[in-house]
Amino acid sequence: RRLKMFSKCGVRNIISFNEKARAAAGAAAAAEASGGEAPENPYGEPIPYIVIVIDELADLMMNVGKEVEFSISRIAQLARAAGIHLIIATQRPSTNVVTGLIKANITCRIGLTVASGIDSRVILDSTGAENLIGRGDLLISKPEYPKPVRVQGPWIPDEEIAAVVAHLKGQGEPEYHSEILKTNVVTLGDSSPAGDGGSEADDPLLWEAADVVVSSDLGSTSNLQRRLKVGYARAGRIMDQLEEKGIVGPANGSRPREVLVDQMELETLKAFEANDED
C-alpha cells in the first residue's frame, strides 16, 4: 500500500514522502493564514515508521519455516523504503533458523556471546562472538564495515522498560489500521459475520486450496477439483469458504472468481487463524 502511494506521488521512499507532505501542509496553512485558497495536498499526513519485532525466530522456523523465511525476505527486500523495519532475535543461531536467504536480505547483524565459532559464523559470517565476555559485549556487522566491530551494549533493567512503556502508553490511544481490523473480523472465529446464521467448520483442505488459488491466481472451482482431487460439490464449498475469508471474490457466473490477496497477504491470514486457534 505504501509503495503504491509513493509511486502515485512520484517519490521513492518514506523520507521524501514525509518531506513533501510536511511542505504541502505548510503551504496550505500559509495560504489559509493569508486568506487565500489552500492548494490541493496530494500527500495527506506524514506516515509513521513501523518496526516489526520477532522475539524468537527459532520457534517460528520450527512451525512454519518456509512461510516465515519468505515473509522475512519479502519485507527486508521491499519495506525499508516504505519505512518498515525488522528486528529479529534468536538464542539458537543454527543454519536452519538463520538461513542463507534471511542473511542475504538482513545485512545489519549483531552477535552476542555464543557457544562456538560455528554459531558466530552463522550470525556474522566470521568467528569472534564466541570470545565475547557477556554483559552487553557484542559484535556488529554492517555492509560498510570490512569486519565486525566490537561495541558495548547498554543494560536496561525491567523497571526502566516498564517506565518507557508507561510513558508511551500515556502519549495517546493506539491507532489500528482499518484494513487489518477488517481482515481479522472476517478470518477469525468459528462463525460468519453477524446476520447469516453461522457457517460450517473449515474444510481440512481449505488452506491448501488457498495456496493453489493464490499461486495460480485462478479462483476456479474446476482448478481446485483437479489440483486437490476432490468432487465438484466439495470444491464448491471450499471456494465459498475462501470467499468468507476474503481470499476470493463472489461468484461471477461461469468465469473464475477474482483472487483478492497475494502470497504475502495469504500468509498473514494464516497467521491470524493460527493465533486465534491458540
Cβ proximity of 231 and 222 under 8 Å: no
One domain for residues 129 and 63: yes
> Computed over its alpha carbons, how large is the radius of gyration of the chain?
24
**For residue 91, is it within any domain?**
yes
Same domain, 144 and 190: no
Say yes or no: 149 and 186 in one domain.
no
CATH code where residue 273 lies? 1.10.10.10
Choosing from 154, 187, 219, the residue where a domain stops is 154
pLDDT tens digit sequence for 231-247? 989 999 999 999 888 88
Asked whether residue 195 falls in the same domain as residue 259, the answer is yes
pLDDT value, residue 193: 44
**HSE-up (13 A, CA, CB side) for residue 29:** 6
Question: Whole-number mean pLDDT of the chain?
Answer: 84
Which of 89-93, 109-113, 156-160, 191-195 comes out lowest in average pLDDT? 191-195
Q: Which residue has the higher pLDDT, 111 or 26?
A: 111
Specify whether 225 is located in the same domain as 272.
yes
Within-domain flag for 2: no
- Output the pTM of the full model: 0.58
Per residue in 69-98, pLDDT tens? 888 888 888 888 889 999 999 998 998 899
Last residue within a domain, chosen from 92, 122, 154: 154
Is 196 within the bounds of a domain? yes
Mean pLDDT value of segment 175-180: 65
102: in domain: yes
Last residue in a domain, options 122, 154, 186: 154
In percent, how much of the chain has pLDDT > 70?
Answer: 88
Residue 21 is assigned to a structural domain of this protein? no
User: Do 145 and 190 have their domain in common?
Assistant: no
When comparing pLDDT for 218 and 29, which is higher? 218
| Averaged pLDDT, 156-170 | 91
Residues 57 and 119 in one domain: yes
Max mean pLDDT among 22-26, 108-112, 169-173, 174-178 falls in 108-112
Range of the domain at 268: 178-277
Residue 64: predicted pLDDT: 76
In a domain, 120, yes or no: yes
- Residue 4: inside a domain: no
How many Cα neighbours within 13 Å face the side chain of 206? 21
Please report whether residue 119 resides in a domain. yes
Report how many domains make up the chain: 2
The set of residues, in sequence order, having a beta carbon less than 8 Å from that of 228 and lying 6+ positions away, is 205, 208, 209, 212, 235, 238
Percent of the chain scored above 90 by pLDDT?
A: 36
pLDDT of 184 over the 70 cut:
no
The pLDDT confidence band at residue 38, using thresholds 50, 70 and 90, is: low
Lowest mean pLDDT among 19-23, 63-67, 209-213: 63-67
> Is the same domain home to 211 and 272?
yes
Q: Is the same domain home to 150 and 185?
A: no
What's the CATH code of the domain at 72? 3.40.50.300
- Beta strand 84-88 with 50-54 is parallel
